[in-house]
Amino acid sequence: MGTMRRVLNAVLAAAALLVLAYLLLRIVASWHQGYSWEEMDWRQRGSTSIADFFAASDIGKRDVVANGRACVEYYAYKDGLPVKTVCPK
C-alpha cells in the first residue's frame, strides 16, 4: 500500500510539474512578444485580461495599408487571419 501511494504521489507531482512548465513557457513566450499591456486587448474591450496576455504568444504583428492609411494588424499565427487592426486617428 505504501508503494502505491508513493507512485501516485510521484505521478501527481510530475503532472503538476508539467502544468507549471507549460504555464511558464506560455508566460515567457507572451512576454517575449514585446507588446504593451494596452496592445494586448485583443477583443478591444477596454482592458487586458490574463487570457489576453496568454494569447499574445500566438499573435503576430505586421504593417498593412487600410483605406490608404498605414496601420498595424495583429494576426493569429495559426492561420494568418487578423485579430485586430489599429490605425492612427
Instruction: Return the domain boundaries, the chain.
Output: 2-86
Q: Is the dihedral of CA 32, 48, 54, 74 positive or negative?
A: negative
pLDDT digits (tens, 9 = 90+) for 28-78: 999 999 899 999 999 889 999 999 999 999 999 999 998 899 999 999 999
The Cα–Cα gap between 74 and 89 comes to 17
Residue 19's pLDDT band (cuts 50, 70, 90): very high
The pTM of the full predicted model, rounded to 2 decimals, is: 0.75
